Amino acid sequence: MARPRSLDRNRLLDAAEAVVADAGAAALTFGKVAEAADVPKASVQSAFGTKEGLLDALLNRWAEQEKARFARNVGPDPTPQAVIAEHIRSTAIEDHDTISRTATLLAAVAGTGQTVGAMADWYAERAGDLSAATPEERRRRIAFLAVEGAFLLRHVVGFPMDDALWREIFADLLALVGED
């Protein structure tokens, strides 16, 4: 009897990302992922348990990839100033496809009403607890929240914002934290 093929979770996540990229998060089903990965639907369900589990796995993978990229850009032992400045810069120049997939996944998770530990951890690592005691810390907090608000407006809500305005907003945020 042939030994069953081992299930490659990353291959399933690649297939899930392809489904989201092609048809949006609403189309993300075990059946569609199974079809894209050329595996039985039961294999996908076994790997993730629920659709929420699949969404969580996608966001966990994104968060890990983004953290590694960010760490390379910001360097070892960055100051809080450097962290927020890099967050502003990296969000400003993120490619459209990556942002679109991330926004779609975040919107899908928000629609389930569940909290995503990976995203909460990502935000805590990036911005701490958002407490601020000095004027500089307050400016960094405002800039961080403004970056996230701009992302939400443009990529989740679909607020019209052309590239020139996007760049202007992010230049303003860099100036706010003293990185102009």
pLDDT at 1 over 50: no
Task: Give the position of tokens 């990185």.
Answer: 179
Q: Is residue 88, in this structure, part of any structural domain at all? A: yes
- Look at residue 85 in the predicted model and tell me its pLDDT: 94
**Would you say the pTM of this structure is higher than 0.75?**
yes
Question: Is residue 44, in this structure, part of any structural domain at all?
Answer: no
Determine which of 3-7, 47-51, 105-109, 126-130 has the lowest per-residue pLDDT on average: 3-7
pLDDT band of 75, cuts 50, 70, 90: very high
* Local confidence band at 41 (pLDDT 50, 70, 90 cut-offs): very high
Q: Identify whether 31 is part of a domain.
A: no
Collect contacts of 36-45 with beta carbons under 8 A, ≥24 apart: 37/11, 37/12, 39/7, 39/12, 43/7, 43/12, 44/12
Residue 72 pLDDT = 93
Cα 55 to Cα 33, 112, 156, distances in angstroms:
12, 10, 16
Question: Do the domain assignments include residue 3?
Answer: no
Question: Is residue 66 a part of any domain in this protein?
Answer: no
68: in domain: no
Burial zone of 99 (CB within 10 Å; 0-12 exposed, 13-18 middle, 19+ buried): middle
Which range of residues forms the domain containing residue 95? 77-176
Q: How far is the C-alpha of 175 from the C-alpha of 37, rounded, in Å?
A: 46
Q: What is the pLDDT of residue 2?
A: 44
Q: If you average pLDDT over residues 56-75, what whole number do you get? A: 87
In a domain, 61, yes or no: no
Does residue 56 lie in a domain region?
no
What are the tens digits of pLDDT across the range 168-178?
999 999 999 99
Residues 103-153 have pLDDT tens digits of 777 767 666 666 567 778 888 888 999 999 999 999 999 999 999 999 889
Number of domains in the chain: 1
